[in-house]
Amino acid sequence: MNKLIITHWNQAICTALAQNQKILQIELEPDCEKSILNNIYIGKVQNIVKNINAAFVEIGNGIIGYYSLSENPRHWYGNGTWGTRLRVGDEIIVQVSKDAIKTKAPVLTGTFAFTGKLTVLTVGKSGISFSNKITDRKWKDSMKKNLQEQVGEEVGLIIRTNGKNACLEELLSEFYSLQETYQNLMKEVPYRTCYTRLHQAPSTFLTNIRNAYADQLEEIVTDDAEIHKEIYHFLKQEQPEDLEKLRFYQDPLLSLKNLYRLDQVIEGATAQRVWLKSGGYLVIQPTEALVVIDVNTGRYSGKKTKEETILKINLEAAEEIGKQLRLRNLSGIIIIDFIDMWEEKSRILLFEHLKAVVLQDPVKTTVVDFTKLNLIEMTRKKIHRPLYEQIAACRNGSEL
């Protein structure tokens, strides 16, 4: 079972997912820099670059986002109408679908998503779809038929992993609530000016509560009275079934940050070298273009054959790589240089083991294949900034 730990770290709110006292995932939201992910704005087109078929749209405060014209053939204009032509100076409604990462601008979309605990309402994309982690084909076919009758063709609905055990009435209840949010937003559009924020996504720590797998979440723990109050009101309104999981931590001798050794965890999550129990180690190096991970034998001194020794270290490394990608929130293209193995059965075993490991990651992660240079190529979906960038934002904020 998992616990969500929400506390202050330096000048930020830290949300950590813990399992048996071990931290699996960390997100930092600086007090001075709230995330704009999933916010909806009326923006203004500043530039259209035809050779990359994209526009750059300002959403206010000097923030300019990337808006793909290939992925967004239709645009929702600031007067509340839809159309296919886009010119510099047009005011359009956009949602932030990806945070700014490294030197890349935030990504904007004209397909809007309103997210609940069980479902996601999509505007600009119709149909009923399901999380990849829901595998019961019979249940999906039955639910899809029943939902389609109520959802209609104007909007779409995605059933999230948390919705796999929900009944039709629960899914429809959330759908109607999300639909009401969308309809209220539409009513406001004609009366709002450019750069207006039409929809404010919940704080990062509330989003993490909503996104946590309900059947695995045991407790939500915080030691901050204001945060506790905000979580309480959020749960009471959005997820009353989880109210009993909320706990206020009070111990004058041992802070929540020290109890879970957050300083040491964060320091370790920014180190290049990660030691394995076997004596081997990883070298993790994020670059501008991709993430490179090297696996080394290190101090391993087992008594098995060379092939068995290397396979053992590689399998252990695969486990740790899955943990480190999630903990550090590394994404994009990932290249892994495992220790070379000569037997094809060993390579296949390693490849399948790595695929099984990344299935546990809630962020979509794909193990592609071995390259001609015997490297494994992976991709992990980019959503939030990597942890090292979050830490840098906290430090910069504390210096201001």
What pLDDT does 35 receive? 82
- Write out pLDDT tens, residues 120-157: 999 988 899 999 888 889 999 999 999 998 898 889 99
- Measure the CA–CA gap between 390 and 329, rounded to whole angstroms: 10
Residue 322 has pLDDT above 90, yes or no: yes
Average pLDDT over residues 259-269: 93
Q: In whole numbers, what is the pLDDT of the chain averaged over residues?
A: 91
Residue 257 has pLDDT above 50, yes or no: yes
What pLDDT does 385 receive? 86
Q: Could you give phi then psi for residue 139, rounded to 5 degrees? A: -65, -40
- Measure the CA–CA gap between 360 and 114, rounded to whole angstroms: 25
* Residue-by-residue DSSP string for 255-272: -HHHHTTHHHHHHHTT-S
Q: What is the 3-state secondary structure (H, E, C) of 380-396?
A: ECCCCCCHHHHHHHHHH
Of all helices (H) and strands (E), which one includes residue 51?
none
What pLDDT does 298 receive? 76
**Strands 2-9 and 63-68: what pairing?**
unpaired
Average pLDDT over residues 84-104: 90
Residue 305 has pLDDT above 70, yes or no: no
Residue 399 has pLDDT above 60, yes or no: no
Per-residue buried b or exposed e for 337-349, using 16+ beta carbons within 10 Å of the residue's own CB: ebbebeeeebbeb
- Measure the CA–CA gap between 341 and 350, rounded to whole angstroms: 10
For the stretch 12-20, contacts whose Cβ atoms lie closer than 8 Å and that sit 24 or more positions apart, written own/partner, are 12/390, 12/393, 12/394, 12/397, 13/203, 13/204, 13/205, 13/227, 14/257, 14/262, 15/204, 15/205, 15/208, 16/260, 16/262, 16/265, 17/208, 17/212, 18/260
In this prediction, residue 396 has a pLDDT band, given cuts at 50, 70 and 90, of low
Q: What is the pTM of this model?
A: 0.84
At position 261, the amino acid (one-letter code) is R
Average pLDDT over residues 260-265: 93
Tokens found for residue 119: 């479902």
- Write out pLDDT tens, residues 164-208: 888 999 999 999 999 999 999 989 998 899 999 999 999 889 999
**% of residues, the chain, pLDDT over 90:** 69
What pLDDT does 303 receive? 58
Q: Whose structure tokens read 């829901």?
A: 134
Residue 398 has pLDDT above 60, yes or no: no
Residue 400 has pLDDT above 60, yes or no: no
**Angle, in degrees to the nearest 10, between helices 204-211 and 225-238:** 50
Smallest CA-to-CA distance from 162 within 237, 221, 242, 246 is with 242
Query: Residue 214: CB partners within 8 Å, gap ≥ 6?
Result: 117, 162, 241, 242
Task: Give the CA distances from residue 101 to residues 13, 23, 71, 330, in Å, rounded to whole numbers and listed in that order.
Answer: 19, 23, 20, 11
- Write out pLDDT tens, residues 46-83: 999 999 999 999 999 899 999 999 999 999 998 888 89
- Measure the CA–CA gap between 180 and 52, rounded to whole angstroms: 36
Residue 389 has pLDDT above 50, yes or no: yes
Residue 263 has pLDDT above 60, yes or no: yes
SS3 88: coil
What pLDDT does 246 receive? 96
SS3 187: helix
Tokens found for residue 272: 């290049």
Query: Residue 259: CB partners within 8 Å, gap ≥ 6?
Result: 251
Average pLDDT over residues 229-246: 93
What pLDDT does 397 receive? 55
In this prediction, residue 301 has a pLDDT band, given cuts at 50, 70 and 90, of low
